[in-house]
Amino acid sequence: MKLDLTKDFAEYAKDLNQASRDANIQKAMARAVKSYRDTTAETMKRYPHTPDLALEVQGIKTNAIENNPDLLQQAMASVERNKGKAFYAKDAEAALALAAQIIGKGKTVVKGKSMLGEEIHLREYLEEQGTEVWETDLGEFILQLKKERPMHILSPAIHVPREQVAEIFSKFFGKEVPPDIAAEVAQVREFMRDKYFTADVGISGANVVAADTGAMVIIENEGNVRLSTGAPPVHIVMVGIEKIVPTFSDAMKVAEVTWRYAQYGIPGYVNIISGPSKTGDIEKVTTYGAHGPKEFYVIFVDNGRSLMARDERFSQALHCLRCGGCMYECPVFQVTAGHFGYTYLGGIGSIWTAFVSGGLEKAAPLLYTCLRCGRCVERCPMSINVPEMVGQLRKMIVNGEQIGDGDLTLAATVGNASQALSS
């Protein structure tokens, strides 16, 4: 098979150049990088145990990825024990089909921010199915209106300044919204409030999953996740299988390291959700759907992750906590934002692109953009060696190797896992 990427590279180079000349991107990134570095330095000083905790979490994640198939079984059993319903989706299609089946026709969905959602194009898919979907994270909502993809995993609209937000909102809400951040936020709050309480389904991701208890840990600041997972009668969690760790206390450690490296001393909210809402207040009879959702579903998505887990050259990429710290230190990202990316962004994003979202073809230009300078490794709480993996993938491209070449165990493992689920 032949694949000519010369045009892709040329167009991509133009896009990078354009981004690096875009005054909005430069202004926003300069602010973001400075704020990230200052806040993180201050936060680390206040919580000096963090680097040691990060080392401990490296151990937790390494073990968890090695034992992922077992932990997945455990986590699914825990969810079921908690009166939720657990599913395993081997790829994006399976995940989307499951979600669509649970949601049903003609419904309204409020959605929390999720990179997995971006990976499988969840919103676009549901909208095609006739479902009304609202992104409740402010940044994602701006991009939903702007019809653009996220430019940072935590601050998706990092590249859009308030003036532009005001223009977008004025058009959408059909009235003058001033370029004042407080006014912009208030406008969305008012609009979204109604959506939370009329939506049929809330969808969220999860930052960490504890296998022993089936607890989903979701970190947030806006409060949109509390509302979208608490108000509608149905809650669906869609989460990558790499997020599972053995115990509840492991999950707390992972969560703390995640938010600390995402520049928070403590985030506004940490949601821990492990099943449908219930009460036993009347005659000790357990009844579901008290104030929160009556139905609780978890879809564990693989979509290339188990392939990564089994390849010792790349399994460390699954340790990524998505704190986003690396991106602020990346010299390319600092001038291009998410233009250095496909769905997943930056150097680590090029590895993820190759395995779960686009394949080597889409990853190739990103892989050759990475400077292999290694500063991301210094920042990364998991010390993920991105330059090493970028080198390996460049070698694979040059040699004409494919992701998963020679992985004979894949079919067998995936087959077994699906079987175990349906039984």
Question: Contact positions toward other proteins, by CB under 8 A?
Answer: 1-7, 9-11, 13, 16-17, 20, 329, 331-332, 334-336, 360-361, 364, 368-369, 371-375, 377-378, 391, 393-402
Angle between the N-to-C axes of helices 138-146 and 162-173, in degrees from 0 to 180, rounded to the nearest 10:
70
Nearest approach, Cβ of residue 167 and other proteins (Å)? 27
Reduce the DSSP state of residue 106 to 3 states and report it.
coil
**Contact by Cβ (8 Å): 65, 242:** yes
Closest to other proteins by CB, 262 or 390: 390
- The structure tokens listed for 402 are 């494919």
C-alpha span between 358 and 342 (Å, rounded)? 8
Strands 132-135 and 201-204: unpaired
**How big is the chain, counted in residues?**
423
Closest to other proteins by CB, 30 or 186: 30
C-alpha span between 420 and 409 (Å, rounded)? 17
C-alpha span between 312 and 141 (Å, rounded)? 38
Closest to other proteins by CB, 252 or 373: 373
Nearest approach, Cβ of residue 306 and other proteins (Å)? 21
Nearest approach, Cβ of residue 36 and other proteins (Å)? 13
**Contact by Cβ (8 Å): 255, 209:** no
Nearest approach, Cβ of residue 415 and other proteins (Å)? 22
Closest to other proteins by CB, 38 or 128: 38
Nearest approach, Cβ of residue 331 and other proteins (Å)? 5
Q: Select from 241, 201, 305, 277 the least CA-distant residue to 76.
A: 241
DSSP symbol at 159:
T
Angle between the N-to-C axes of helices 50-66 and 68-81, in degrees from 0 to 180, rounded to the nearest 10:
90
Closest to other proteins by CB, 134 or 333: 333
Closest to other proteins by CB, 12 or 344: 12
Nearest approach, Cβ of residue 362 and other proteins (Å)? 12
